[in-house]
Amino acid sequence: MNFSFENSITCGGQLQLSALHRAPDHPHDAHIADLAQPFFLAWIKMTVRMAPNRSTHPRFILLALVLLALLLAFAALQKPDPAGPNAIPDELGPSLTYEIVSRYPHDPTAYTQGLVFHAGVFYESAGLYGESSLREVDPQTGTINRQSRLPDAYFAEGLVLLGGKLYQLTWREQTGFIYDLDFNLLNTFTYPTEGWGLTTDGTYLILSDGSDKLTFYDPETFSPAREVSVTWNGQPVRLLNELEYIQGAVWANIYLTDQIARIDPASGAVLSMLDLTGLQPAANAAVPGEVLNGIAYDPESGRLFVTGKHWPWLYEIRLSNPEIQPTPLRP
């Protein structure tokens, strides 16, 4: 799905409304804009046309309120509520806590959708239509060592390394790309859902689609092997986004929240939640959609990295719970 957003709408040269006309913060935001935009534009045009006589037109007031109610109804129906049943159950029990070990520069133009650490560098999948790319990034400086841009019709999503090959998802295009580590395109694959996050347990590709489901795909045939529903005390945990497999558990960003879920891949049960409240830079917190997204694990050192969409920093963190903190494969 491709979007064409105008720069702004100006009413009488005074009021500028651009929220529905900027690049989408996330696929869900773009979808809301698509649905609500006709009602919003109609309301604005009617306001401009009838405003001089609005005090003498009771019907104007009624019609404006009806259109506004339709707009709000569409938004309420379509936009996930991170505090409600579309995201996390109310009672998740105690959360894991963290401390910042280091922070590193991160390209603030990167709309991070996937993050992998391998052989001393980050591989990053950056999204948005017309801006999507695959990158190799220097961890210390944030410098982009190399980059491969996707065609404008694709919105890049999750990324994983398996068997010396990089697998990259796209959002609604139901198409994935396979590269070697020099970013040569080796093949493509398809899947029947939206693509959000991607990781591997060393055998299967594990894909999230924004629901409460994790689907395990054979990396050779790309056929689904099995599926689990992610739950906490029997309640679904939805909006599973970027994924990382760390020492037997799937770690999942939960979209629009500061939470990362640790998930048992066999049962789908949430083992614990990592609360990263306070990590989001203030400038990003002021922009809807520029949320926590991106988890990377260095198995050689046990280091754990996180970042977010358009964040200027990438953080190495350590969990305050030593029994959960990832450990090196080679002490």
Domains of the chain: 9-78 (no CATH), 98-319 (2.130.10.10)
Those residues whose C-beta lies under 8 Å from the C-beta of residue 220, and which sit 6 or more positions away, are none
**Which backbone phi and psi does 34 adopt, to 5 degrees?**
-60, -45
85 falls in which pLDDT band (50, 70, 90)? very low
Query: Percent of the chain scored above 90 by pLDDT?
Result: 66
**Which backbone phi and psi does 52 adopt, to 5 degrees?**
-60, -25
Neighbours of 311 (CB within 10 A): 26
Q: pLDDT tens digits for 50-83?
A: 444 444 455 655 665 665 565 555 444 443 443 3
Neighbours of 130 (CB within 10 A): 15
Tokens 């066999």 — which residue? 266
- Closest by CA to 101, choosing from 328, 315, 311, 246, is 315
Amino acid code (one letter) for 175: T
Tokens 């609005």 — which residue? 54
**Cβ(159)–Cβ(134) under 8 Å?**
yes
Mean pLDDT along residues 283-305: 95
**Cβ(116)–Cβ(125) under 8 Å?**
no
Residue 11 has pLDDT above 80, yes or no: no
Minimum mean pLDDT among 2-16, 246-260, 266-280, 289-303: which range? 2-16
* Alpha carbon distance 279, 243 (integer Å): 18
Mean pLDDT along residues 16-25: 33
Helices (H) and strands (E) in the chain, counts: 3, 24
Give strand pairing partners of 146: 136
Residue 4 has pLDDT above 50, yes or no: no
What is the pLDDT, as a whole number, of residue 329?
60
Check residues 82 and 7 and name the one with the higher pLDDT: 82
Check residues 169 and 323 and name the one with the higher pLDDT: 169
Minimum mean pLDDT among 68-72, 116-120, 203-207, 261-265: which range? 68-72
Q: pLDDT tens digits for 108-156?
A: 999 999 999 999 999 999 999 999 999 999 999 999 999 999 999 999 9
Q: What one-character DSSP code corresponds to residue 274?
A: E
Q: pLDDT tens digits for 237-256?
A: 999 999 999 999 999 999 99
Residue 218 has pLDDT above 90, yes or no: yes
Give strand pairing partners of 228: 214
Supply 20's token pair: 């529905």
